[in-house]
Amino acid sequence: MNKRDGALYASRVMSPLPPPRGILRAPRPDGLLDVRRLTPSPRLAPYIHHYWAIRWSLQSPFKGESLPHPSVQILRIASCAERSAFVLGVRSGALARTLTDDGETFGVTFRAVMFQALLGGPMESITDRVVPLEQVLGASARPWARAIDAARAPEEKVALTEALLTPLLTPSPRLERVRDLVERIAVDRSILRVDDIARANGLGIRALQRCFRMYVGISAKSVIQRYRLHEAAIQLRAPHPPSLAELAASLGYADQAHFGRDFKRIVGQAPRAFGLNQGS
């Protein structure tokens, strides 16, 4: 990449991103933990939500936990403990990762649904799976991983990745419609049940279920639940959180008990304990 290209990418990818949602636990690191999130080019913005680069040098292990968005990631990890390039399928629950010693990770977070353009098969086939990148990208995976390791600036890693992915990602009105539906669920607080989605889109429940298995990787009910639990985590962290009964009602739960069971099953802690532990 020449200097002109580098300047172009530096100006293009450093647009501000909103704070990430779904972070459950991120304690203060004992050492260096540098995290950067970068936006895609306009050409790949319909497919990719953001890129991210982490560099760390730690005196003691750092364990982060999240409840990821229903989207797929490509990761290149280069550390003392691991050197790998893989696809991380949509997760049906929370995700924990522990960093130790020194290392770097570069990641590509796709928008919901849009990795299907690369996979070419049912998204549920990689749900909760870690798949070697070569299984999806073939012979181009290894040269890309080597180039990512050699690149120093995150902007250069983005440029290399976009050069790889741009020819492989072509517009698909069908994928875009399902993507937009999932992203509407993320922000539309009136969508609390699968019936709400079906009515809004003129789909039967069975057709909707097939659509989400094929293009999202988890059920429509799970997507709604994911985003409502994101909202629950934010409110439980607030200086003056609502009562659990009020929070459950606002999220569309029939009662506090159902909300508490879902939260503990997915997040791994009861809601009250989660709120109390945010300072630790």
Query: E strands within 39-148?
Result: 48-58, 62-66, 73-79, 83-88, 95-99, 102-110, 130-132
pLDDT band at 5 (very low <50, low <70, confident <90, very high): very low
In the beta sheet, which residues pair with residue 78?
83, 104
In the beta sheet, which residues pair with residue 110?
48
How far apart, in whole angstroms, are the C-alpha atoms of residue 12 and residue 64?
Answer: 29
Q: Which helix (H) or strand (E) holds 77?
A: strand 73-79
Look at phi and psi of residue 162 and say left if phi exceeds 0, alpha if psi is from -120 to 50, else beta: alpha
How far apart, in whole angstroms, are the C-alpha atoms of residue 228 and residue 196?
Answer: 14
Mean pLDDT for 122-144 is 97
Q: Number of helices (H) and strands (E), helices first, in the chain? A: 12, 9
pLDDT for position 21: 85
**Buried b vs exposed e over 55-79: b needs ≥16 C-beta within 10 Å?**
ebebeeebebbbbbbbbbbbbbbbe
- Side chain identity at residue 36, one-letter code: R
Contact 94/65 with Cβ under 8 angstroms? yes
The mean pLDDT value of the chain amounts to: 91
Closest CA to 216 of 179, 245, 247: 179
pLDDT at 280 over 80: no
**End-to-end Cα spacing for the chain:** 43
pLDDT at 72 over 50: yes
Closest CA to 129 of 85, 91, 94: 91
pLDDT for position 2: 46
Domains of the chain: 3-168 (no CATH), 173-279 (1.10.10.60)
Residue with tokens 């990208």, as numbered in its chain? 137
pLDDT for position 14: 46
pLDDT at 15 over 60: no
Q: Read off φ and ψ for residue 216, nearest 5 degrees.
A: -110, -45
Cβ atoms within 10 Å, residue 177: 13
41-70: pLDDT as tens digits: 999 999 999 999 999 999 999 999 999 999
Contact 256/244 with Cβ under 8 angstroms? yes
pLDDT band at 16 (very low <50, low <70, confident <90, very high): low
What is residue 30's three-state secondary structure? coil
Contact 199/208 with Cβ under 8 angstroms? no
Q: In this predicted structure, which of 78-82, 101-105, 152-156, 199-203 has the lowest mean pLDDT?
A: 199-203
pLDDT band at 202 (very low <50, low <70, confident <90, very high): confident
Mean pLDDT for 160-189 is 95
pLDDT at 278 over 70: no
Cβ atoms within 10 Å, residue 106: 25
- Of the spans 9-18, 127-136, 204-213, which averages the highest pLDDT? 127-136
